[in-house]
Amino acid sequence: MISTSDFRRGAKIEFKGEPYEVLEFQHVKMGRGGAFVRTKMKGLKTGKIIEETFSAGEKFRKPELTERRMQYLYNEGNLYCFMDTETYEQVHLTDDQLGDTRRYMKENMELSVLYYRDEPIAVEPPTFVELEVIETEPGHKGDTASGGSKPATVETGAVVKVPFHINEGDVIRIDTRTGEYVERVKR
């Protein structure tokens, strides 16, 4: 069981029979009244974000979540095919189940697929991915690594703000948690 005092960003709880991830939480203690916890949570199955208020000390079950390493193979329309690297079983997930993760997926990339009661519900990408810039404005003499940014489209179609010195063909490292440019990768 997980108590509201154990809430942390990323904590997973079972609420109303569904798995949720705590995005934000705030412990509030009023002068004479009892303490409570305001939370913002994301439904792991639906992706829907809700706000709830709980009494301090309220307890929740841990959801039955398992993680499997899978390789992303290909997509057909809005279905994405993954293969379990141990059993070679193939699973198809939708755009909604992937969310923003699909912006950072390349074919043959290994990812963690989250299962709830033996049903795939979400995909967690690696923290950092290395992708090639396929379209951006050219850099000019005098552009430096600091000061300003421009949009760049990477091979997966995601648009990332990059420094002016980044050119087409460069490989960059992106933080998938924030979607931000981290550094240029030296080859």
pLDDT at 178: 85
Read off the DSSP letter of residue 90.
Answer: E
Domain count, the chain: 3
User: Of the candidates 60, 80, 96, which is a domain's last residue?
Assistant: 60
**Residues 116 and 156 reside in one and the same domain:** no
**More confident call, 146 vs 172:** 172
pLDDT digits (tens, 9 = 90+) for 108-136: 999 999 899 888 888 888 889 999 999 98
**Residues 70 and 82 reside in one and the same domain:** yes
Which domain, by its residues, includes 178?
128-184
Domain with residue 171: its CATH number is 2.40.50.140
Domain with residue 30: its CATH number is 2.30.30.30
**Residues 175 and 148 reside in one and the same domain:** yes
Cα dihedral 84→85→86→88 (10° resolution): 60
Inform me whether the pLDDT recorded for 146 exceeds 70.
Answer: no
pTM assigned to the model: 0.71
**Residues 45 and 7 reside in one and the same domain:** yes
User: Of the candidates 124, 152, 167, which is a domain's last residue?
Assistant: 124
Inform me whether the pLDDT recorded for 147 exceeds 70.
Answer: no
User: Of the candidates 16, 43, 60, which is a domain's last residue?
Assistant: 60
**Residues 141 and 166 reside in one and the same domain:** yes
**Residues 52 and 77 reside in one and the same domain:** no
Q: Are 106 and 155 in contact (CB under 8 A)?
A: yes
Cα–Cα dist 173/161, whole Å = 12
**Residues 117 and 69 reside in one and the same domain:** yes
